[in-house]
Structure 1
């Protein structure tokens, strides 16, 4: 009798445990499918993305890096074919990001901690030839424009823009502000700064797209052109600004560098999602790492590994459960 009662009690206990377990919600686990992080065509973004990728690998995630166009990538992020873009700059990517998030298929994962500035920039030695700078109206003067000209653009000045994939509306800005300049787009990030290096060494005229965080603003003495301050209406309402018939008659916006991605990341990879949202880095850190790659000749992988080793207590918190 004792034995039978004991067995009955045990069986009832087991049933109660099973009932309890069935009522306990299952803890979501990250999928073993690869998280696809997009790579673009400038050093800082490659560093940011690989830091994030290495941190996710430490958490046990499967990571895949995919080369993608900066603006066109949103088609892949909306469909879920791509998953995370670690740098979307307020200065050039806000419109594309807002359009994508408005679909409900892309999510803003928050700020990276870096602050973006991208604008026309000139070496300090050019102020003697165009003394009205940094005021943008100095560029309207034909003598100033000629000072920035080259054989291919004379008598118009030459403005060296970033690769066309970066956006930025420089061609539209020149037309809207009636500047006697021709926009020439650099083929790559490396070509852009190689030309700056060459011109600076020769004290040759150059006006070009410079962005921060980057090493160039520390290495070279110069200034950004001061255009009419950006407002959203400048880009959307032709009636705004000095040209009543055209938009983009102002400078570029300044602001955050954002992390964005496919809205399904939080459900498919919940732990990775939390880590991506927690990721943060500042301009000084990034500028130092870009310098190590672009000026000191170190490999991106080595610079990332060095950062990972020096910051383990920090990134460990990003993946802490």
Structure 2
């Protein structure tokens, strides 16, 4: 067969395969899944996307800002966001679902923690930890300082796009700490790795599920427990003039979608609702990518290969 003939045959085979796959789906239009800037979310989203592809759906991955994506989900320009964390995304999610244009598709199976974290070796210099009030002590704050922030302590927050109200929290609780935001997820944990190896001072945003809490010995700061009133009512809490004088909420990581997904792609809607992984699974996959150097696509493919009995139930 000539080169042109072979190419034509391959094209026909591909078209027939696609036609066969699409015969069982409701629309050939691409379902747009959002990608963000941390490894776990990329894994979660690509697992879901690749499973939907196996059901015959046309999938498009779209880079989007974590909070700003809700504008696109409301209009239907974006379709599915696989990780909305109770810790940082609840307000934006509730506002979006209240419009009726965005639907909460339930829990992913993962439970979220995002909070100020420090290595255990720092307790020698700030023995009152993990109680947050220890951070108000000038000597403790100075123990966490850098040349740029001294005598104030330095708190390394996540990228600004993650939200989380860390700047507001430090101000509301009158902590002598300067909040500095890492530019990327990778930069955040590179600083942790460097500081930990040198036993240098560091206080930073650490989240779970992630490999860091398993690899490094440390603790999350225990702030006053989150309540909705803390975020909405300045009179609540220790500072009667400020909101956010408490810790971050903890709880599920949610899946959300444009409300039109249910009507346009009902099979995909059911599959996304069924998606479920746990913290241990996700932590292990993130470790493979971030620490062991495996390609993210290969880690996703390994999970797909090892869990066919599980994900096939999502799409059947």
Q: With the length of structure 2 as denominator, give the TM-score of the two structures.
A: 0.92
Of residues 198, 209, 214, the one that matches 2:210 is 214
Q: CA RMSD in A?
A: 0.9
Does residue 1:257 correspond to 2:253, yes or no? yes
Deviations, residues 153-183 of structure 1 (Å, cap 9, x unaligned): 0010000000000000000000000000000
Query: Which residue is equivalent to 1:150?
Result: 146
| Structure possessing the higher radius of gyration over alpha carbons | 1
**Displacement after TM superposition at 1:184 (Å):** 0.2
Deviations 1:218-259 (A, max 9, x none): 100000000000000000000000000100000000000000
Q: Which residue, 236, 239, 253 being the options, matches 1:240?
A: 236
Using the alignment, how far apart are the partners of 1:221 and 1:175 within structure 2? 28
CA contact (8 A) 2:230 2:244 kept: yes
Matching residue of 2:294: 298
Measure the CA separation in 1 of the matches of 2:98 and 2:266: 22
Tell me, yes or no, if the aligned pair for 2:37 and 2:185 is still in contact at 8 Å.
yes
Tell me whether 1:50 sits opposite 2:46 in the alignment: yes
Q: How does 1:113-128 map to 2 (within 5 A)?
A: 113-128=109-124
Call closer, same or farther: CA 1:28–1:314 in 2, change over 3 Å. closer
CA-to-aligned-CA distance 1:1-30 (integer Å, 9 cap, x gap): xxxxxxxxxxxxxxxxxxxxxxxxxx9952
Equivalent residues of 1:238, 1:247 under 8 A apart? yes
Query: Runs (4+) of structure 1 moved beyond 3 Å?
Result: none
Gaps of 5+ in 1: 1-26
Note if 1:184 corresponds to 2:173.
Answer: no
- Give secondary structure in 1 for the equivalent of 2:88: helix
Give the structure 2 partner of residue 103 of structure 1: 99
Task: Give distance in 1, aligned partners of 2:219 and 2:232.
Answer: 28
What residue in structure 2 maps to residue 166 of structure 1? 162
Which residues of structure 2 form unaligned runs of 5+?
1-22
- Looking at structure 2, the residues matched to 108 and 286 of structure 1 have their Cα atoms a distance apart, in angstroms, of 21
CA distance in 2, matches of 1:124, 1:29: 52
Native 8 Å contact 2:25 2:57 kept in 1 = no
Deviations 1:124-176 (A, max 9, x none): 00000000000000000000000000001001000000000000000000000
Corresponding position of 1:61:
57
Q: CA deviation at 1:289?
A: 0.1
| Structure 1 residue 216: Cα displacement | 0.4
Paired positions, count: 294
Asked if the contact 2:157–2:205 (Cα under 8 Å) also holds between the matched residues in 1, the reply is yes
> Which residue in the other structure is 1:205 paired with?
201
Distance 2:25 2:37 in 1: 33
**CA separation in 2, counterparts of 1:166 and 1:101?**
19
Secondary structure at the residue paired with 1:154?
A: coil
SS of equivalent residue, structure 1 residue 96: helix
Whether the 8 Å CA contact 1:116–1:212 is kept in 2: the answer is yes
8 Å CA contact 2:24, 2:56 repeated in 1: no
TM-score by length of 1: 0.91
1:95 offset after TM fit, Å? 0.2
Which of the numbers 30, 36, 43 marks the counterpart of 1:40? Answer: 36
Q: In 2, are the aligned partners of 1:161 and 1:186 still within 8 Å (CA)?
A: yes
What SS does the aligned partner of 1:131 have?
coil
- State whether structure 2 residue 263 is matched by structure 1 residue 267: yes
Distance 2:32 2:221 in 1: 38
Q: Secondary structure at the match of 1:239?
A: coil
CA distance in 1, matches of 2:221, 2:297: 35
Aligned partner of 1:288 in structure 2 is 284
